[in-house]
Amino acid sequence: MNYFPLLMNIDYKKVVIVGGGHVARQKVEALLPTKALVIVISPAVTEKLQQYINEGLVTWKEKAFEPADLDDASLIFAVTNDQEVNNAVEEAAQHWQLLSRADAKGRVDFINPAVVRRGDFVLAVSTSGASPGLTRQVKTDLEEQFGVHYAQYVSFLKEARQRILQMSKGDVKKQLLAELVDPQLLQWMEQGEKQKCEAWLQQRIGEKR
Ligand SMILES: C[C@@]1(CC(=O)O)C2=NC(=C\c3[nH]c(c(CCC(=O)O)c3CC(=O)O)Cc3[nH]c(c(CC(=O)O)c3CCC(=O)O)/C=C3\N/C(=C\2)[C@@H](CCC(=O)O)[C@]3(C)CC(=O)O)/[C@H]1CCC(=O)O
Ligand SMILES: NC(=O)c1ccc[n+]([C@@H]2O[C@H](COP(=O)([O-])OP(=O)(O)OC[C@H]3O[C@@H](n4cnc5c(N)ncnc54)[C@H](O)[C@@H]3O)[C@@H](O)[C@H]2O)c1
């Protein structure tokens, strides 16, 4: 299957997760960085999910699934351990609602990549469902390869790019934007020397004005 990868803005949209087990917890954790309105439908939830519910990060409806639970949901996760219940969720989902089934059966509108977040820098991995184990392994490798300093690095690149776009034109702008991905900047950021990056930018912008 050739899936279409995208980054979706789901802020303030309703997301319904049917099931309250370990897979439901994974989905909730993937959604926490967003402002989606997350509702868990399940007679029972894991300890970690209970913690998120207590903190008000997620709403829990302590009950077995019913079709009306899907009303107004933009995204639906059928993640119970009961195929019949997941089938019932699929049957109740409208064509305009995007459905994901953790058992990878029946209708599959989307699947979930493994995600490494470093601020605005997002790395997503998938084997299109072929091997979730390999996906997990590659994610672990990426976590090591792209350390937490990437968040600050990409934040600097964002600000620097805005400044370049405002201050320069044409070929100068193009050249400055190309120079911005200089590996030296990444190295300074990794060493905690953000001020060197700032000075570098000041100098470049000054020279080209
Ligand atoms: C990425 C991640 C994100 C997430 O779950 O949100 C994710 N699976 C993760 C881990 C993981 N899942 C499983 C294992 C055990 C090893 C194994 O079975 O190989 C491990 C490894 C581990 O946990 O270490 C078991 C498993 N997974 C699926 C089935 C059903 C089936 O294949 O039939 C079964 C068998 C269930 C059973 O037998 O009962 C199905 C799917 N799992 C997907 C995503 C989608 C395709 C991903 C892709 O394209 O590669 C897809 C198709 C649907 C979906 O759920 O979206 C998360 C990464 C961890 C992370 O982020 O840290
Ligand atoms: N995508 C993945 O990464 C992945 C990984 C492992 C397993 N799976 C699949 O996901 C399924 C769930 O795995 P899990 O480890 O979370 O299982 P689990 O047993 O930990 O949790 C199942 C949850 O479903 C709830 N549930 C049962 N009947 C329900 C109903 N009628 N209405 C609402 N909720 C109901 C239970 O209360 C429980 O909270 C597995 O059966 C498997 O098919 C997917």
ipTM of the assembly? 0.95
CA 54–ligand 1 middle distance (angstroms): 27
With a Cβ cut-off of 6 Å, ligand 1 is lined by 26-27, 30, 100, 102-104, 111-114, 126-129, 131-133, 135-136, 139
Can you give the pTM of this predicted structure? Answer: 0.94
Q: Which residues contact 1 (CB under 8 A, 6 or more apart)?
A: 108, 128, 129
Task: With H, G, I as helix, E, B as strand and everything else as coil, classify residue 126.
Answer: coil
What single DSSP character describes residue 95?
A: T
Ligand 2 atom at minimal distance to the Cα of residue 46: 39
CA 130–ligand 1 middle distance (angstroms): 9
Residue type, 101: R
Q: What is the mean pLDDT of the chain?
A: 96
Ligand that lies nearest to the alpha carbon of residue 1, given by its number in the listed order: 1
Q: Which residues contact 77 (CB under 8 A, 6 or more apart)?
A: 15, 16, 17, 18, 19, 24, 27, 100, 102
If we measure between CA atoms, which residue out of 31, 35, 38 comes closest to residue 12? 35
CA 132–ligand 1 middle distance (angstroms): 4
Is the per-residue pLDDT at 207 higher than 80? Answer: no
CA 184–ligand 1 middle distance (angstroms): 37
Task: With H, G, I as helix, E, B as strand and everything else as coil, classify residue 124.
Answer: strand
Section 185-189 average pLDDT: 96
pLDDT band at 128 (very low <50, low <70, confident <90, very high): very high
Q: In what order do the strands lie in the sheet with 37-41?
A: 59-61, 37-41, 14-18, 73-78, 98-101
If we measure between CA atoms, which residue out of 164, 153, 163, 154 comes closest to residue 194? 153
Section 73-88 average pLDDT: 98
Is the per-residue pLDDT at 106 higher than 70? Answer: yes
CA 101–ligand 2 middle distance (angstroms): 10
Distance between the two ends of the chain, CA-based, in angstroms?
A: 50
To 5 degrees, how large is the angle CA 187–CA 189–CA 193?
105
Section 92-112 average pLDDT: 96
To 5 degrees, how large is the angle CA 83–CA 108–CA 8?
125
CA 116–ligand 2 middle distance (angstroms): 23
Alpha-carbon distance of 64 to 66, in angstroms, equals 7
Is the per-residue pLDDT at 168 higher than 80? Answer: no
**Tens-place pLDDT, residues 11-49:** 999 999 999 999 999 999 999 999 999 999 999 999 999
Hey, which of 45, 69, 80, 139 would you mutate to test ligand 2's pocket, going by the most ligand atoms within 8 Å of its Cβ? Answer: 80
Q: Is 161 exposed, middle or buried (0-12, 13-18, 19+ CB in 10 A)?
A: middle
Distance, C-alpha 95 to centroid of its chain: 24
Determine the pLDDT at residue 209.
60
Ligand that lies nearest to the alpha carbon of residue 69, given by its number in the listed order: 2
Determine the pLDDT at residue 206.
82
Section 154-176 average pLDDT: 90
Alpha-carbon distance of 43 to 17, in angstroms, equals 12
Determine the pLDDT at residue 208.
65
With a Cβ cut-off of 6 Å, ligand 2 is lined by 18-24, 41-44, 64-65, 79-82, 85, 102-103, 132
Section 44-65 average pLDDT: 98
What single DSSP character describes residue 71?
A: T
Determine the pLDDT at residue 167.
83
**Tens-place pLDDT, residues 133-142:** 999 999 999 9
